[in-house]
Structure formats: structure tokens, C-alpha cells
Amino acid sequence: MDWKEEAFILLEQLVRVPSVNPEDHGETSELFGEKAVGDKLLAYIKKYLPDFFCWQEEVLPNRFNCYASYKAGEDCPTILLETHLDTVSIQGMSIDPFTLKSEGGRWYGRGACDAKGQIAAMVLGIRKAMMECGGQLPINILFAAVVDEEHKHRGVDFLVKNSVHADLAIVGEPTELQFAAFHKGSIRFEVNALGTSVHSATPWEGVNAIEIMADVIQVLKTAAKETVEYKTHPLCGKSSISVTLIAGGEQVNIIPDTCSIHIDRRLNPQEDWEEAFNEIKNIVKQHVTDSVWAKIRWNDPYLIDPPLTNNLTDKALVSLAEIMKQDKPEDVSYVGLPFGCDASKIQPVGIPTVVFGPGSIQQAHTADEWIDENSLLQAIEIYAKIFQHLKL
């Protein structure tokens, strides 16, 4: 079997079908949503993995999680493979987003790295293991390709609410073939400043909301940043706070009565989101005047994405590490990731969960998104080995 050719064929089929996350805008064109690519994926699995039972579940209107399961036996360990069908926007891309292009050992296209390349690695890893085992795997597998990871993670939320059970979960994300047992989380929220609008010829008669927000931003980039970045994790690094969106004003000769910012606060595994949120408010309150504080409105987070943590002595993680040590005994240790993903929503339901996959996060979401072909082929080999040798 030429696994490079098979990988390119499968990934080309997935990249060809647009699956841009529509967020909450409700777009219905062929560009947005995951249904078409999910149908394509399940058709492939039904053709090449006939022992797998496939089905779909609607999470959001016309947006379906896709599942495939294999039953080896009641006494066999169960592994959950989870990744996502949606991609980020194609706006500003410098390549044709939906035509997989091979050049210099790299495969280019939207989703090639995040996360259609992860889907290809998992599915072909299963195919390879099935061939090497004579069609009978020693483990149960539940494969889940979910919706909405790139926005509000409602696909994985739906998955875990339906009583999923497994002894180990591997979430497919680009980790440069390292196994991550920790990753950061985040909260995102909006802050509003309220002013009084007047003609700019007499600004002293009004209250400039942008100037109020400027005082807030100054505190966020100094005192709040210093406090937040003091919090560190040995594998994930520093916590962070960033102002990532700003809006204010209607016309150049009108003093603005509103200004808003959006804040992205990255949380390390030891942090609680409510404590982090309240800490930011308290720091701002301590460093601005009472008159400025009275004109600030804090909105509850519209995204709460928890960090991932694990017990490294769990037997599933120990077994996984032992498999990896067979090839690279000096190079196997669990790492932490600076970004978040679906893993932190799976682990809390009692499933030891790691993040793994080919490619680098540096190539995800980019104008020329790509994945290294050798990395993808290595991931197929690693998955095949896990499916054959995981013992719990």
C-alpha cells in the first residue's frame, strides 16, 4: 500500500469540500458548515472500513457530528479519536483554499493542517492497523469528527453530554508529533465604555468614551499584563492577556459616546476562569479614577474554554508512553500546548485525554496553510502502532 498516495487522495477529497465555520451568522451557502465534508468523510469510511458502524447527530441546524465505531469485544480497551470538521475563514488566503497542492514536501490547502490532515492521519492509521492485524483490531474505537471547534466548541460539548465512555482519548491537532497532556484555556469577553456624545467643537461638554477606554487599555497593558504573565506553568509557559478588538465612534466630528474592546485571557492549567476574570476587573478598578470606573461595563465571558490537565500516572497515559518509547526512548515525555482545543472538554468526564497530530500550529489558520507530508505519514505509522499495542 502506498500510504503517501492514499493520504493525498483522502486529504484532497476533504480539502476540496469547504467547511468554514459560520460562527453565529447562520450562513447557508456551500462555503459554510460541516455537513458536506462530513458526508464525504463517512462515505470514505464506509467504503474502506466496512467493519465500522457510521452515523451522524445534528448538533446545530444542518451541522452534524460524524461518528464511526469499531467493536473488538467487551473486555477490550476503548480509545476515542476526536477531531473537528470545521475550518477557519479563507479570507486573505494567498493560495487556492480548496485545491490540495503538493510542493516541496508540503501539502497546501485550508484545513490541510487544522484539522483535515488530522482526520486523514487517524482514518489511515486505522486502515493500516487493520491490514497489519489481518482485519481484527485488539481495541474498540470510537472516531468522532465534530463541528464548531473553531468557534464555541459546541460539537465536543454535544459529544460529552451524550455519555461517551473510553479508556483513552486522543484529540487530533497539530502538535509536531508530540503528545500533549496539558494545554492552555481561555476566556473571551467584551468591555464597554459609556460616554456622552457632543459636537467635537466643544468636547468639554461631553464625555469621550474612547478616552475612557484608553485609560482601561493602559492598565491592561501594564499592571494587568504584569500580574497575569507572572503566572506560569512548567509545560505551557506564561499566562497572557490581550486586547484583540476595538470599536468606537461614529463620525470624525462627533465625540463618541461608546467604545468597546474584546479581551482574550489565556489560562494555564492551574487557573480558574472566574478568579481570572475578577482579578482583571479588580486591577482596573485599582488603577483608574472613580469617574472612569463608573463608566465601564463588564460583560460576562461569551467564551469559556477550560485548560487541559491530566494525571500522568494514569495507566492509559503510562501505556501510551511505553508504546512511544519503543522507537524513541530518549524523546518521549508529555508536553504542554500554548493553545486550546477540544481535549479540555473531554478529560473532565473521566477520560484521560491527550492531544496529538502531524503538522505545526504555526501553519494552522495561515494564508498558505500547509502540512508536511512526512509528518502526516509518520502520524499514520504512530496511530497504527497505538491501535495494535495499547494495553490497559
Per-residue pLDDT tens digits for 228-253: 999 999 999 999 999 999 999 999 99
Mean pLDDT of the chain: 96
Residue 167, C-alpha cell as written in the block: 479508556
In which element (H, E) is residue 193 found?
strand 185-194
Q: What is the pLDDT of residue 299?
A: 98
State the Cα–Cα distance between residues 265 and 237, nearest whole angstrom. Answer: 14
Paired with 254 in beta bridges are 199
pLDDT tier at 26 (50, 70, 90 boundaries)?
confident
Asked if pLDDT for residue 325 goes beyond 90, the answer is no
pLDDT tier at 329 (50, 70, 90 boundaries)?
low
Query: Cβ distance 239 to 266 under 8 Å?
Result: yes
State the Cα–Cα distance between residues 132 and 88, nearest whole angstrom. Answer: 36
State the Cα–Cα distance between residues 299 and 337, nearest whole angstrom. Answer: 28
pLDDT tier at 377 (50, 70, 90 boundaries)?
very high
Based on DSSP, count helices (H) and strands (E) in the chain, helices before strands: 11, 18
Judged by DSSP in three states, 271 sits in: coil
Count Cα atoms within 13 angstroms, Cβ side, for 326. Answer: 11
pLDDT tier at 352 (50, 70, 90 boundaries)?
very high
% of the chain with per-residue pLDDT over 90: 94
Residue 66, C-alpha cell as written in the block: 460524524
Q: Which tens digit of pLDDT belongs to each residue from 338-351?
A: 999 999 999 999 99
Asked if pLDDT for residue 154 goes beyond 70, the answer is yes
Asked if pLDDT for residue 28 goes beyond 70, the answer is no
Q: Which tens digit of pLDDT belongs to each residue from 30-70?
A: 899 999 999 999 999 999 999 999 999 999 999 999 999 99
Q: What is the pLDDT of residue 211?
A: 98
Asked if pLDDT for residue 267 goes beyond 70, the answer is yes
